[in-house]
């Protein structure tokens, strides 16, 4: 699976958009980009995932560059409750490998939303 690089920490003002970058320059054509977040002491929570196209759901938007070497998770109106560690993960779909998921979580980006 492709390796990802994320900044260790970021700050964002409450009410503003939080843009969390992720570099995955070695991504291959059949690898998806997944985002999870972990609020202090809780289990990680799925946010969104995508392959090529930009994706949006009730939590966030995922923007993937045309060359797929990087992506950005956007929280459109960050609140204090969005303070968490955000993990960007790249993973081949299990449909392609026939194996079970072995999602690898790195150290992520610690997002601090401030008043």
Partner 1 sequence: NAGVTQTPKFRILKIGQSMTLQCTQDMNHNYMYWYRQDPGMGLKLIYYSVGAGITDKGEVPNGYNVSRSTTEDFPLRLELAAPSQTSVYFCASRPGQTNEKLFFGSGTQLSVL
Name the site residues for partner 1 (rule: CB under 8 A). Answer: 32, 34, 36, 41-46, 49, 87, 89, 91, 93-95, 100-108
CB of 81 to partner 1, least distance (A): 17
Distance CA 48, CA 33 (A): 8
CB of 62 to partner 1, least distance (A): 14
Distance CA 81, CA 59 (A): 12
CB of 14 to partner 1, least distance (A): 25
Q: Which residue, 115, 112, 104, is CA-closest to 44?
A: 104
Structure tokens at 54: 């930009």
| Of 15 and 30, CB closest to partner 1 | 30
| Of 45 and 65, CB closest to partner 1 | 45
Residue 14, exposed/middle/buried by CB under 10 A (0-12, 13-18, 19+)? middle
Distance CA 71, CA 98 (A): 26
| Of 16 and 100, CB closest to partner 1 | 100
CB of 93 to partner 1, least distance (A): 7
| Of 7 and 15, CB closest to partner 1 | 7
């Amino acid at each position: 699976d492709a390796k990802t690089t994320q900044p260790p920490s970021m700050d964002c003002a409450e009410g503003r958009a939080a843009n969390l970058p992720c570099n995955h320059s070695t991504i291959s054509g059949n690898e998806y980009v997944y985002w999870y977040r972990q609020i202090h002491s809780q289990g990680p929570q799925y946010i969104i995932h995508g392959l090529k196209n930009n994706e949006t759901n009730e939590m966030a938007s995922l923007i993937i560059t045309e060359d797929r070497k990087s992506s950005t998770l956007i929280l459109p109106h960050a609140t204090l409750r969005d303070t968490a560690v955000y993990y960007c993960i790249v993973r081949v779909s299990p449909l392609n490998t026939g194996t079970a998921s072995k999602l690898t979580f790195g150290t992520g980006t610690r997002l601090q939303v401030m008043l």
